[in-house]
Amino acid sequence: MSEAAPGGSAEKVFYEEAGLRYEVDGEIATITLDRPEKRNAQTFATWSALAQIGENLPQQVRIVVVRGEGPSFSAGIDLRMFTPEGVPGQGSFASTATLDATAFEGRIAQAQQGFLWLRRPDIVSIAAVQGHAVGAGFQLALACDLRVLADDAKLCMKEPALGLVPDLTGTKPLVDLVGVSRAVEICLTARVVGAEEAAGLGLAALVVAPGELEQAVRDLSAALLSTNRDAATATKRLLQGAPGRTLEEQCAAERQEQMGRIRALFARS
């Protein structure tokens, strides 16, 4: 459930049950995980709200910043899911386990919708990560195109330690970034990857002092906004498709995108 900000502004929305705040300022949307007293633990309501934001993102938005309030980016899934009582109104793993296969898979697919849209070619998503990014927190950061880390960032794929697998879209970007072997080591030990190591592994675009995180994200956003919007979208589409194509196929894709750009820029009607 969402609630417009006082004054009825459409540009600032609080998703109270989800523990999210969402603001749009021109071309930049900012999503803030806003339950710092619980280290921004995530629930199904969080993922539904994220999906809803993606579905309704204003057309002018080009940058989506995902950040967390307080000392941690996110401590991952709300641990109440592991208890018999679960999260009020949202169930528990025990109740989910009784669903039939179609409903069960549908529930996970629904949760993944909260993460998938952050890869859309028409936006660039940036995770601003300070402190812990555990489990679903790490996966949310991985769902973003870019990660800016404070030097106190601690990334941890905790799921295997809890008997689960990472299922919130994080395994593919992790493997794409660090390779299968390193991903196996990181996930199956559930160890903490610090900011410096993360930068060395290609998991971080930038590592800054905690006090500089906000400004660093603002500067990066400004640099990203300085390029042509349609060219940026087409280029992201090309880059995203590259790993799945041969060189010849990629060259063909480049030709197609460039023809579209040149026609859009120079063709006279």
- Return the number of the residue (134 or 216) whose C-beta is nearest ligand CAA: 134
Rank residues 37 and 248 by Cβ distance to ligand CAA and give the closer one: 37
Which strands sit side by side in the sheet containing 124-129, from one edge to the other? 3-4, 12-15, 20-25, 28-33, 63-68, 124-129, 146-150, 206-208
Q: Are strands 146-150 and 206-208 parallel, antiparallel or unpaired?
A: parallel
Kindly state whether residue 78 participates in binding ligand CAA, applying the rule CB under 6 A: yes
| Tokens describing residue 56 | 């309704």
Q: Could you tell me the smallest distance in angstroms from the CB atom of residue 61 to ligand CAA? A: 26
Give the number of residues in contact with ligand CAA, rule: CB under 6 A.
Answer: 20
Structural contact between residues 253 and 261, judged by C-beta atoms closer than 8 angstroms: no
Of 17, 34, 145, 159, the one binding ligand CAA (CB under 6 A) is 159
Q: From CA 193, how far away is CA 132, in angstroms rounded? A: 10
The residue from 24, 51, 75, 220 that contacts ligand CAA (CB under 6 A) is 75
33 membership: H or E segment, kind and range: strand 28-33
List the interface residues with ligand CAA, window 12-41 (CB under 6 A). 38-39, 41
Instruction: Please say which residue, 151 or 219, places its beta carbon nearer to ligand CAA.
Output: 151
Residues 196-255 that bind ligand CAA (CB under 6 A): none
Handedness of CA 249, 251, 144, 49 (dihedral sign): negative
> Contact with ligand CAA (CB under 6 A): which of 21, 67, 132, 147?
132
Binding window for ligand CAA (CB under 6 A); candidates: 3-11, 60-68, 127-135, 221-229: 127-135
Q: Give me the residues that bind ligand CAA (CB under 6 A), please.
A: 38-39, 41, 71-72, 75-79, 132, 134-136, 158-159, 162, 164, 167-168
